[in-house]
Amino acid sequence: MSIGKRGVPSASGAVPVAEMFYSFQGEGPSLGRRALFVRLMGCNLTCGYPSMPRRAATAAAGQMVCDTSYTWNRADYDLTGGVRHLTPPQIWDEMVRLDPSAECPALAPVGLIVVSGGEPLLHKDAVLYLAAQASATGRSLEIETNATIRPGPELIQASVVFNAGLKLATSAVPRKLRIKEGAIAEIQASGRARWKFVVCGPEDMAEIAELQLEFGLTEIWLSPEGSTPTAVVERMRLVADSALARGWNLSTREHVLIWDGARGR
């Protein structure tokens, strides 16, 4: 096994999976819906840092620090430990088994699949397979993406929804890495984009407004930065009035409010 250039453990014919679980969708317009989650390894951004940290416990340079850095930060995490390498059919089979209705037919099947990361579009073929399976079984599929990679026509035609989380200056990632005009345009043109911005405070509003104007973004959602219930609620209060005035939506982070940001919840 080797570590790829993007910090992704590679294995022939398989996709590196950090975790799979059954929970509620914690953010955005599907907030509160039961969902089956798969989190894939690897990311092409380094939120919280201008570039990949070289040493363990490197101090963050930005306010918005990635809360799933265990999928890409090789300075702080063993990117092979606990990672499973599964083919897309194996991923799908396990996700179906996670659905409580598999053992209790009296329950309604879970109708939402969420593919996350890291950056799941680094594994586009696997995502496309999962999208096809979701469609064939009457489920919807949401992709949590940083909107720096073009999804391509096949994925767009698969009728997936893009929870497109453009990163702001508070992430410390250089703009040339986090803002990719072609990918943004392609996702916006799909008609199934929900533009989600992680906000640290009112100072982020002007930058979001500039990006909305620059790229003609529709359906904007704000998501409060924070890994504790107190931080989430405080930041929601800081931006709520401004969001209403600008015509934007405001989400919470339900999984943090309930489980304090525990993994796999």
**Is residue 231 in a domain?**
no
Identify the CATH number of the domain in which residue 139 sits. 3.20.20
How many domains are contained in the chain?
1
DSSP label at residue 102: G
**Is residue 224 in a domain?**
no
What backbone torsions phi and psi does residue 79 show, to the nearest 5 degrees?
-80, 5
**Is residue 79 in a domain?**
yes
**Is residue 223 in a domain?**
no
pLDDT at 6: 52
Range of the domain at 65: 2-192
Q: Considering the entire predicted model, what is its pTM?
A: 0.94
Q: What is the pLDDT of residues 212-229, one digit of tens each?
A: 999 999 999 999 999 999
The SS3 call for residue 198 is strand
CA distance 105 to 115: 25
What backbone torsions phi and psi does residue 242 show, to the nearest 5 degrees?
-65, -40
pLDDT at 4: 52
Q: How many CB atoms lie within 10 A of CB 125?
A: 11
**Is residue 135 in a domain?**
yes
pLDDT at 261: 85
- According to DSSP, the residues that pair with 3 across neighbouring strands are 9
Asked if 128 and 158 touch (Cβ cutoff 8 Å), the reply is yes
CA distance 17 to 82: 9
Below-50 pLDDT ranges, the chain:
1-3, 5, 7-12
Tokens 């969001």 -> residue: 243
pLDDT at 11: 41
**Is residue 260 in a domain?**
no
**Is residue 246 in a domain?**
no
Q: What is the pLDDT of residues 133-188, one digit of tens each?
A: 999 999 999 999 999 999 999 999 999 999 999 999 999 999 999 999 999 999 99
DSSP label at residue 59: P
CA distance 112 to 103: 18
**Is residue 235 in a domain?**
no
